[in-house]
Structure 1
């Protein structure tokens, strides 16, 4: 009898397969991630929640104060109100504009043209560097009173304002920065556009539909899951906007760019009020959760999938 087909060999093979089918093996493989998740995410979150009910600073031991931090934030803190207004204005303007820019560029780049990969890489490149300090400094130099934009405007006789020092335009420059970095959303839109069956466009062309009608009746409905994903991710990232407000405008002028994350940072690391900053952080979490929940619960009315009836079930 062949050793490989002997009853003992078969028993050992079954035992080995059963051992690897155990969930313990799966947990063993993902244990590095689990350790990092619980030690670097869950534990700090629990600790932050505890600190939000204390007067903890970096120099003294925390003392329990109950909900006093939250009462001060919600009733007497004018800077909190201002930072919330600025952040919501930033989110409501930057997220839609970024999605529109990403979708329009994606529709141009989805065409099969020689050298298109080079164009896609060049357009995506700004998103690789992200909202870094170097980009923020460059943006400040471009839109400063003596920056490159005003230098170009001077050639046509226009005396441009100090874009980042004028309360009416400062937040707009930060919105323009995040709109310029639409590469990640564009790549996702590209993937979504390529998944739309070309037969739909051919059939609609036979019926006499033009490009504009095809866009609203085919492209947009088929892209709603992609739009939904990009919208959620855009809202979450925009609520956490920090580096541009810190480097370009320092929250000014006249607190017109005083973003929520910047205020949280100044309370925690500038004034060493870690307990108060922890309360601000948890309120931010609730604001993000509420905003994304609204999108989630309303998605059934405008997000369409390839299922029965066309809508998500």
Structure 2
């Protein structure tokens, strides 16, 4: 009776690694560690240690002047009863939920126009990216100038078409929409990333879709969006995290003078800053920071779970 041949054994599994090869690998490892050592030291001192220390401070009553006094979970219990925590979280969520889709859609529209611009695309890429170079403090001041209810450019433009614009900077219901519109000022980096993704979509896919009779909208939804969905997902993650931590523009526009009382612009990061550096409740502010960290982690985890159904990666079998 014929016998089945045994599969050949992997020679690399039986032959011991040569001493020269092991020494070379150790040298390469030491060289790699030496090159990344400055980053490790910097990250440990300026990132890891502050994170761990803020976790300790969140369990203390600390006013910066006196030594921290351990109080256990009192700061976290206080979070549950602080009405401004709920208000600031609502303002931040409202802002982020509306801003992120608006940024993605607006940036995708600009990127698709740039993709068809030909030689002039270099100029427009630079023009779209320049607002990202504007300091956030200047953007906050610009917001007050553009959205001024009486003499602002936005209301002047609306008046030309017969629309009586609202008081963007004083009426509570219009403050966050004004900030959202101002957030579209700096979409240049998102546009550039989406443009790079669009240029990596194989032209053969569009040609096949045209042969099948697909119109522009069908090509966009069935070819473009799925092929760049990984990039869109990355931008949604990054912009969501940035939206949840928004601070400078709103603080400059509405809290810089220290006299503004309309709480429609009170974002979570602004309230955290006030607790830490205006009221010197550093322990309570640390607890707020850890709450924000947990919220961001939960939202990011949910986004990753949802992405398994919505995001296409080249080489996927689904």
Q: Same fold (TM over 0.5)?
A: yes
Task: Report the counterpart of residue 30 of structure 1 in structure 2.
Answer: 36
Counterpart residue number, 1:4: none
Q: TM-score normalized by structure 1?
A: 0.89
Equivalent residue for 2:269, pick from 261, 278, 284: 261
Cα distance in structure 2, aligned partners of 1:63 and 1:36: 29
CA distance in 1, matches of 2:163, 2:184: 25
- Structural RMSD (CA): 2.0
Q: Is the 8 A contact 2:140 2:252 kept in 1?
A: yes
Shift of 1:151: 3.6
State which drifts further: 280-289 or 251-260.
251-260
> Is 1:241 aligned with 2:246?
yes
Q: Distance in 2 between matches of 1:234 and 1:101?
A: 13
1:47-74 residue CA offsets vs partner (Å, 9 max, x unmatched): 1000000001111110000000000111
In structure 2, what is the equivalent of residue 138 of structure 1? 142
Structure 1 segments unaligned to the other structure (5+ residues): 1-13
Deviation at 1:120, TM superposition (A): 1.3
> How far apart are 1:116 and its partner, in Å?
1.8
What SS does structure 2 have at the residue aligned with 1:241?
Answer: coil
Alignment TM-score, normalising by the size of structure 2 = 0.88
1:54 corresponds to: 60
SS at match of 1:169: helix
List per-residue Cα deviations over 1:196-216 (Å, max 9, x = no partner): 100010111111111111111
SS of the residue 1:115 aligns to: helix
Give structure 2 stretches of 5+ with no counterpart. Answer: 1-19
User: Which whole-Å CA distance do the structure 1 matches of 2:183 and 2:172 have between them?
Assistant: 18
Cα drift, residue 253 of structure 1: 5.8
2:200 corresponds in structure 1 to 195
1:218 to 201, 218, 223: 223
Instruction: Report the count of equivalent residues.
Output: 295
What is the aligned partner in structure 1 of residue 281 from structure 2?
273
Distance 1:103 1:153, change over 3 A: closer
* Shift, 1:112, TM fit: 4.6
Aligned to 1:117: 122
- Partner SS, residue 58 of structure 1: coil
Q: Which of the residues 287, 292, 297 maps onto 2:300?
A: 292
Q: Report the Cα distance in structure 1 between the residues aligned to 2:159 and 2:104, rounded to whole angstroms.
A: 32
- Does the CA contact (< 8 Å) of 2:54 and 2:286 recur in 1? yes
Rounded to whole Å, the distance in 1 between the matches of 2:34 and 2:160 is 66
